[in-house]
Structure 1
C-alpha cells in the first residue's frame, strides 16, 4: 500500500469576498519565488508594456505585476511604474512572489492599492521551491503622483508575478546528486528561467550543491569544482569545462560524469543529446568512456531504474497475488496462511529476482510484521498495537514500518529491528502511511494531525556509524486533506489519494509540492481507496474492492476484456 492544482477553500472565500471588479477565480495557491541567477541576455515571452497615460492606481499596480514577468535584466519596464526614488532603490534580484492569476486589487481613498491572492510557495536564488501553507498573500502598494501620473513609491522586495507567468518563464528541471552508496542519481527539483544560459545556470546549481532539505541525504561529486567558462551547446552537444578539481585515485569522476550527463540531457528546451566534459581544457581521465558522453554510457545511474520484469502485487483475503494474471504468489504467503493485510517485496536490482518479503498480519489487540525470503517461510520480527503497511526501497534489502503511530522502525533482511530517529514526527501527529522513495533517500508520510491527514516528505539521513534518521518532515500538499494514501510514481513525483470518504481523487505532484494536479477517476466504478505505483510502471488503485490500472489517462481492469480482480493493498516490488 502505499515535482500540481486545487485551491484551499479559505483562499477561494477570501478572494471571492473582495469587492474589486477585477477578480478571476483561481484553483491554485500562490508562491513566493526568488530569481534564479544566470539569466539569458534576450528577453523571453511577452514584451512588457510601459505605463499608459492617465492610468489609474489599480492599472499601475497591475501593470507593474505584468512587467515583472519580463526576463530582461533589471526589468527596466517594471521600474517605469515606480517613483524615481523607488526605481533607484528597487532590485529584482531578491525573492519572487508568485500569486494566483485571480488576484484582487482594491484602491483606497489615499491612493494605495491592496493586492490579495493565494500563496503557492517560495523559490530561492538557487531555484529551490518551498511550498507555502494556506495563508493569503496581501500587500498594500502605496502610490503618489509624479508629474500628474500615479507611481508606486514602496514596492515589495523582489518580484511579484503571476503563477501563469512563472510557468511561462521558468522551466522545472532536475538537478541530480548521488545517493549515499554513490550508485544512483537522486533528483533535486529546480526552476530556472528559459534561454541559452540555462545549461550554465544548471551546472552552477549542481556545483553549489543540493537543497538544504536534501543535503544530508546525498553526495555531490562536483563539490569544490568551478566552471572555467560558460556551458556552450552546439549541434546538441553541451561542452562543460571544469576547473578547481584535484584529481587523485579517489576522485569520483565516473559519478561526476553521470551527474552532469543525466542533468544536462534532461533539459527539455535545450535538446542536448550528449555532453563533453573537460578539466582545464583536457578530457577527463576515464577509461572506456567516449569524449561525447550520453546517458547510454551511464545506464546504471538511471535515476528511475526499476528491477526488470517485476509485476504488481496485491492481497486478497489475506493471500498474496500477482497483478499480471491474478495468480497466487509462490510459497505460503500466496496460500493465505499468514493472513496478511499489507505487504512489500524487495528485488535484486541486478536481475529483478524477487528476494525479500515482509507483510503485516492483524492480531487480536495488535499487529505483527512477518519477514523472510520471497516464496519461503516468514517469521515474526516486530509487533505493536498498530503497524503501518510496510515499505521498501530499491537500494537496500530492508523494510520500514511505523509502530504505534510515531515509532519508525527499519528491519534489514535477515537482521533485527532498528529504530529510525524521527524527532519531528511526534509533534506533527500520528503517522498512518509511510512510503520510501525508490532511491531510498526520501520518505513520504501521511500524518493525521490537528489539521487532518496531511502529506509530508522528509530526507533519509544515514550516518557512517549505521544510524538512520528522518530530517524534518515539511508538508508538501497543504491544500490536500484528508490524504488517504501515497505512492512514488518516480523518485521526483508522488501520486496521492485525497478527499473525504466517498470523494477520494488521485492527484500527482512533485516531491517539493509543485504542480499539484487532479488525475481523474474516469473508468472507476467507485472512488479509489488504496494506491500502488513505481517508476516505469502503470499505477494501481483499489476501487470498490477491485483492482484497476492507469492507462493513457483512464483506469482499466488489469486483465483486458475480463472482470476486475478483487483485492486490496496494491504495490510494486522494488
Structure 2
C-alpha cells in the first residue's frame, strides 16, 4: 500500500483583469526532453504557452513578469499576486512589486496560505485618495502551512482576507508597502511548487512519520535544495500536532553546519550530513538514532539509492565522522513491525480464515484455511469482524451478532474465552471491528446510542478501559483503525446521514499515575475534500487509504496524508461491488504489511467478506 500517484484539482478562478498579465513559461519539446532523460537541450518540438495555474506539472517552471514603468495600482496588485506563484529562486520578481523596506522584510517562506481557488481583489481606495490606493484580496481558504512546514486543513469558515496598501516611491512608481506575511497560493499552484515528504521521530522504540511540505526547488528564504530543506525541518523538531507524543534524538539547538545549502550522495551512495557543535558530546547509541532518523527522512526524496548516512561534526578546522548507519542497521533501530506470514479475513461462512503469503504456489494461495485455536472448537461460532495482532499469535473477534469482543490464541487450543467487552443494545451490531497497535493494545468502539464510546484493552488482556476522545461531542464512531506506531487513530464518525474521517493523537501517561489516563486529543479532518467516507485503512509511511466521494461526485479511493492533504490520484472506481474475497486472486508475492491493514469490504461497502485487519 505504498503507491503515491500524484493528483490535483487543476485550474483556479482567475483574478478579474489578470488575464492580460498572465505569467507564461515555455515548454520546449517536453516529451522529447523527458524521454531523453534531460540529457541534452531539445532542438525540435512545438513551443507552447503554459498558464501559471493550469494544473500540476513539476516539469513546468513559471516565472513572473516585472512591473512595467508607470504601471497602475491595479496592475501592480495583479502582477504581485501572479509573481508569488513563480519559480524564481528568491522570488526576486515578486519583490520588485514591493517597496524597498517591504521587499527586505517579506518572508515568503514563513508560512503558506492555500486557497481552493484563486484570489479575488477589489479596490477599497483609489489612486487619487490622499491615503493612497488600497486593495482587498479575498479567497476561500483550504489550508495553511506553518513555519514548521506542517499542513493544517481549514476547519473554520474558510474565508481569507488581506489588505494591500500601495504607496509611490521616489520615482513615482506604485509599490506595495504591506504584503501578506507569507505566500498565498491556489491549490493547483501549491501542488506544483511544493511536495509532501515525511520526516521521522521516535515514539518508544518505533519511528513515526511526520508529514510536511517543502519546495520542489530552492527555497526563497533559506536558498536550500529540497533535501536540505527536509533535513533542516527534521532538525527543527516535530510538528505541533505530533510533538506531544514523539521525541527527537537530536540535542536541542542542533542545526546544519553554517553555510550548508545542499546535501548530496557520494559514489558509495552515502549521504554525509554536517551538524553544528551541539552534537559534540553525543554518545554512539544516540548518534545512531539520529542517523536513523536522517536515513528514513531522506531516502524517499530521490530515485537514487541511499545505502548509508554519516553524521559529521565540525571541530573548528575540519569535519570528522561522528557515526554512521546503513539501511540494514537502521531498520533494526527503527523498530519496524514484523513482516506478516499470513493474510487473514472473514469468509462468506463467517469464519476467520488465513492464507499463507509468498508461497510460490497458486494452489496454496487460493486455498484459505480456518485459523487454529479456540475458534474451531465451538461448532457454529460465527465471526462478524476480526483483527490479528502484529505477532500473529492472537486474534480479536466480534461475534456475528456484534455483541461480544473475544481475544483468542492462534497458537494453541482450549475453550472459547469469556468476552473482553460484552456489547450492549438491541439486535443491531453494537461493536465496531477491532484494531491492534504494534504495542499489543486492542481498540474497539461501541455504537449503541445509549453506550457510545471508545474502548482500549491494554495488552489485549484484562479489563477494557474507556478512552476519552476530545472533540467527539457525542457523535457515533462507525469504524476505527489505530496506526501501527500506536500514536494516531483514524476514526470514521457519523454526522447525520454522512460519515467523516478524522485522525486523533493518542496520548499515553508517562509512567506516572493511572494507566487509564490514555486519551485521544486534537481530532482533525483527515479527508476534508470528501463529503462522505465509506471505508479507510492505514498505509505505510503514515498514509491513509480512503474510500469515499466528493460532493456531487462518484465513489473513489484515494491515498491521503494523515494531515488531511491529498497526495495521490483516485484509484479506479467500480460501479458495483467486487466479488467475494473468500477466494481472492493472487495479486502479488510481496509480503508488504499492507495486507495486514487491508479491509476487504469492497469499495462500495459490500459485506461478502471482511478482513482481519489490524
Q: Tell me how large the CA RMSD over aligned residues is.
A: 4.3
- Structure-to-structure mapping, 1:48-63, within 5 angstroms: 48-53=64-69, 59-63=75-79
1:76 Cα deviation after fit: 3.2
> Does residue 1:327 correspond to 2:371, yes or no?
no
Which residue is 2:520 aligned to? 470
Q: Which moved more, 1:443-452 or 1:117-126?
A: 443-452
Which residue is 1:551 aligned to? none
Query: Quick check: 1:49–1:63 contact (8 Å CA) kept in 2?
Result: yes
Query: Quick check: 1:129–1:512 contact (8 Å CA) kept in 2?
Result: yes
Query: Quick check: 2:535–2:605 contact (8 Å CA) kept in 1?
Result: no
1:475 and 1:492 map into 2 onto residues whose CA distance is 15
Which residue is 1:119 aligned to? 141
SS of 2:231's equivalent in the other structure is helix
1:339 and 1:507 map into 2 onto residues whose CA distance is 32
Query: Quick check: 1:388–1:432 contact (8 Å CA) kept in 2?
Result: yes
Q: Which residue, out of 218, 228, 231, partners 2:246?
A: 218
Query: Quick check: 1:48–1:67 contact (8 Å CA) kept in 2?
Result: yes
1:202 and 1:487 map into 2 onto residues whose CA distance is 27
Q: 1:104 to 1:73 in 2, by over 3 A?
A: same
Structure 1 residue runs of 5 or longer lacking an equivalent are 29-43, 286-290, 349-353, 548-565
Query: Quick check: 1:343–1:389 contact (8 Å CA) kept in 2?
Result: yes
- Structure-to-structure mapping, 1:441-480, within 5 angstroms: 441-449=487-495, 452-465=498-511, 466=515, 467-480=517-530
> Does residue 1:358 correspond to 2:396, yes or no?
yes
Q: 1:480 to 1:58 in 2, by over 3 A?
A: farther
Which residue is 1:311 aligned to? 343
> Does residue 1:493 correspond to 2:543, yes or no?
yes
Query: Quick check: 2:150–2:211 contact (8 Å CA) kept in 1?
Result: yes
Q: 1:150 to 1:571 in 2, by over 3 A?
A: farther
Asked which structure has the greater RCO (Cα within 8 Å, sep 6+), the reply is 1
> Does residue 1:373 correspond to 2:413, yes or no?
no
1:48 and 1:6 map into 2 onto residues whose CA distance is 22
Which residue is 1:556 aligned to? none
1:248 Cα deviation after fit: 7.3
Which residue is 1:483 aligned to? 533
SS of 2:94's equivalent in the other structure is helix
> Does residue 1:202 correspond to 2:218, yes or no?
no
How many residue pairs end up in the alignment? 517
Which residue is 1:186 aligned to? 208
SS of 1:422's equivalent in the other structure is strand
Which residue is 1:347 aligned to? 390
Q: 1:5 to 1:431 in 2, by over 3 A?
A: farther
Query: Quick check: 1:341–1:360 contact (8 Å CA) kept in 2?
Result: yes
SS of 2:500's equivalent in the other structure is strand
- Deviation per residue, 1:212-270 (Å, 9 max, x gap): 22122223211336246236425243212343247577953332221122222232277
Which residue is 1:32 aligned to? none
TM-score (norm 2): 0.72
Q: 1:327 to 1:92 in 2, by over 3 A?
A: closer
1:442 and 1:470 map into 2 onto residues whose CA distance is 8
Which residue is 1:542 aligned to? 601
Structure 2 residue runs of 5 or longer lacking an equivalent are 23-50, 127-132, 219-223, 356-364, 425-429, 585-590
Q: Which has the higher strand share?
A: 1
Query: Quick check: 1:457–1:476 contact (8 Å CA) kept in 2?
Result: yes
Which residue is 1:137 aligned to? 160
Which residue is 1:558 aligned to? none
